[in-house]
Amino acid sequence: MFKKFYIITTPVILFLLQNSFLPAAPSFFQHANIILVYCVLLLLISNVNFSLYNALLLGLLMDIYSPNLFGANIFSLLAAVFLSYIFFRQFFTDKSVYTFIFLISIATIFFNIFYSAIVFVANFITVEFDFAEFFAKRFFLGIFYSIVLNNILTALAFYVVSYFSTRLKPFLIKINR
């Protein structure tokens, strides 16, 4: 019973934090993406289908409250989580905090690039758009802030989950010879 309650309420609480608390925070903290950290954490804890389902649901909720093109958050979250899954399966064998930090860095970069590209194309078609302002120093500084804040959230989330769960405990890989 508690597990079902947790599965339903956690995404809703994180969505409310992302859309109500973070916009009121100082500008540095507005770059954090709690939902992306949660979806990548689900990728490590459970399976890819559950993580993509949550990314779809949370992306839909984010798009409802976003002034930009509908579907930008959905596509960006799904693509970032799926690319994180590919990196995780191809290059990593353990579920350590370093793996999690690298995956969230990759997911943050891809999420911001996909989201900005979608917004750029939508604004380029509809209104005049300044290409130089789009790729200004502020854009890359925002990605850097996002990576730093998401990695801090990642480390905190990893240690909290590893304290309360056994899914992120270290294990040895047996090789049959």
Checking if the pLDDT of 56 tops 90, the result is: yes
- How many angstroms separate the CA atoms of 33 and 23, rounded? 11
Mean per-residue pLDDT for 63-67?
88
- How many angstroms separate the CA atoms of 12 and 23, rounded? 17
Alpha-carbon distances, residue 130 vs 14, 111, 113 (angstroms): 34, 21, 17
pTM for the full predicted model: 0.85
Residue 32 burial (C-beta neighbours within 10 Å; 0-12, 13-18, 19+): buried
The tens digit of pLDDT for each residue in 126-164 reads 666 666 666 677 778 888 999 999 999 999 988 888 888
User: Could you tell me the residue ranges of all domains in the chain?
Assistant: 2-164
- How many angstroms separate the CA atoms of 8 and 3, rounded? 9
Nearest to 85 by CA among 57, 49, 32, 117: 49
Say what the pLDDT of residue 80 is: 95
